[in-house]
Structure 1
């Protein structure tokens, strides 16, 4: 009973947070048909500012880290981010009524990292006097960026194959129609240049498609996208330069306000497309409840391996689990909006903010701290 009370308290607190409050406010404004609009140029500037800030903070932390000790946990973070996207691609996408691009975008958002959830975990670790490496928080870009790139690449591959499949079907239909016209005119159909059955023809076309789809150009295009470019630029500047003064005086103070406006825009867009989500919302709710706990436990297992091999601290293991359990509220939505424009923001943003983040905060963080204390206390 006490656990349920604590969960509800944290859930209500999350509802009252500025991030979620502005998201809900945007949905309310759209629901009452308000004429309020945020110009696209302002939206792009806000996204750029936020992603540069996130990249700078990660780069600064990495520059100040012990790179040798960080290597294995960072490698695990990359693997976990990619793995989370593939899990969503082959679980959520196969549920009834779920559109594949929506599922991939949702998995990408859950593979990316929430800065607010990470901050909550660090605060709780400090309150519990659990030690962790100073660089552990810098693991988030190693999970965040690969997850987002993987989601965009998988969505692009799926979209390309669907287009080619439709083109193959149209081509086959035209050839069948021409053959029927020849018979109707009293002639004989020419020997078909394609397999004798429709299934064989389409199967052959699918085999050809796999050879035509080039993965590297899609990866390159994803990395050249405006959102990921800003994130990577900030990361590089944080590592290679010393931007602390401009970071502390300019980027950091503006961060919360700009994030609130971004959430307002995302709320308005989510409401505009919420009708598409109503028929399958229960599956997103199930995924958003189970996924954070599953992802966190997978990461906790990887963290335990790093603990045994390199002496990765209990607090570091918890941080790795928490960033895997979290779903992005900063870099993810605008990056996916630009990289997978056909995906429904109501699916991935709604799943994350309404269910995923409260579960990660209220259930995930205490769970991973308890596991770390139980397994490593001896």
Structure 2
């Protein structure tokens, strides 16, 4: 399958098309909107399902096989926010707080983009290792901590780094993801069979519903682009390309096979819009949400969904040829 065919397959997948439908609904000012409790329930379901599946698969992995990949992932969590912060300060001319807020989003990862790349790899028949879910789990928070240190907020008594980190680790997404991993590892593939109809068979369908509303949210945030300028838009497209390249290199150095390398590259190239916004709102309340939400959700997320994932797969194919 050529790179063009791969891109077309991703563009025409139900997940991508549902995202596009949600964006179209917002653009034509439809009254479509998932009720907030439904959207929250879908988010809970997706996080728990990711954890359960990944944990059950991790139960078959030797600990020694995951040490280097996790070290590679943690290295990315330090390098990415550092270069993003420096570039945003020097070239985009953002102040310290807004630069740190954006660096936190681009150093952290998107669980929905992770799901999209797994679905893409399954669709094109490329295998990946079961421990990739652990990479998602370890990459959620470290970059946010690095970015908050760059912002110099650890000295603030009201929003100390320790309090912020504690609240992040007890947040819904982290608890469900890590808890699901633990449960999956304890019960294994056999133990998950009774709940497979819910957490396996229905998974992609419920993900489509989640992406439908995310498409609406992304289009509504995109209206802020004019206020935030061309430089932010350029960063929102250039950053995932550079970060994914770093992720691909890290995967290759860590000895990951091609499919898992695509996953790590996609994680590195993604931007958080669940964990990072919650942490930034709490620790850096003066940061401009029009900047970090527009960049991560309205620009980087659809870019990765439509263009980035097939591109990273093609880059990995060239590297591993």
Instruction: Give unpaired runs (5+ residues) of structure 2.
Output: 282-287
Deviation at 1:247, TM superposition (A): 4.3
Which of 53, 56, 64 matches 1:57?
A: 53
Are positions 1:257 and 2:205 aligned together? yes
Residue 183 of structure 2 corresponds to: 237
Structure whose alpha-carbon radius of gyration is higher: 1
How far the C-alpha of 1:51 sits from its partner, in A, is 0.3
Give TM-score, length-normalised by structure 1.
0.67
User: Which residue of the other structure, out of 262, 278, 295, is the alignment partner of 1:322?
Assistant: 262
The separation in 2 between residues aligned to 1:87 and 1:351, in whole angstroms, is 19
Cα distance in 1 for residues equivalent to 2:241 and 2:217 = 28
Using the TM superposition, give the Cα deviation of residue 104 of structure 1 relative to its aligned residue in structure 2, in angstroms.
3.0
Corresponding position of 1:216: 162
Q: Is the 8 A contact 2:244 2:265 kept in 1?
A: yes
Q: Decide whether the 8 Å contact of 1:300 with 1:317 is kept in 2.
A: no
Map of 2:108 onto structure 1: 108
Task: Output the CA distance in 2 between the equivalents of 1:336 and 1:246.
Answer: 34
- The answer to which of 320-329 and 356-365 deviates more is 320-329
Match of 1:117 in 2: 117
- Contact kept, 8 Å, 1:285 with 1:351, in 2: the verdict is yes
Tell me which residue corresponds to 1:170: none
1:295 aligns with 2:243: yes
CA contact 1:85–1:111 (8 Å) conserved in 2: no
Cα 1:111–1:328, aligned 2, differ >3 Å: closer, same or farther?
farther
Aligned position for 1:271: 219
Within the candidate set 136, 139, 142, 1:147 is matched to: 139
Partner Cα separation in structure 2 for residue 19 and residue 123 of structure 1: 12
Deviates more, 1:228-237 or 1:359-368: 359-368
State the alpha-carbon separation in 1 of the partners of residues 29 and 122 from structure 2: 40
**Is 327-336 or 51-60 further displaced after alignment?**
327-336
Normalising by structure 2, what TM-score?
0.78
CA contact (8 A) 1:140 1:323 kept: no
Indicate the residue corresponding to 1:368 in structure 2. 316
CA distance in 2 between counterparts of 1:24 and 1:123 reads 19
Q: Does 1:78 align with 2:43?
A: no
Contact 1:295 1:324 in 2 (8 A): no
Contact 1:80–1:324 (CA<8 Å) still a contact in 2? no
Shift of the 261–89 alpha-carbon distance from structure 1 to 2, 3 Å rule, reads farther
Structure 2 counterpart SS, 1:258: helix
Q: CA RMSD in A?
A: 3.7
Shift of 1:320: 4.5
| Residue segments in structure 1 that go unaligned for 5+ positions in a row | 127-131, 162-207, 307-311, 374-378
1:120 CA drift (Å):
3.5
TM-superposed deviation, 1:302: 3.4
Report if aligned partners of 2:107, 2:271 keep a CA contact under 8 Å in 1.
no
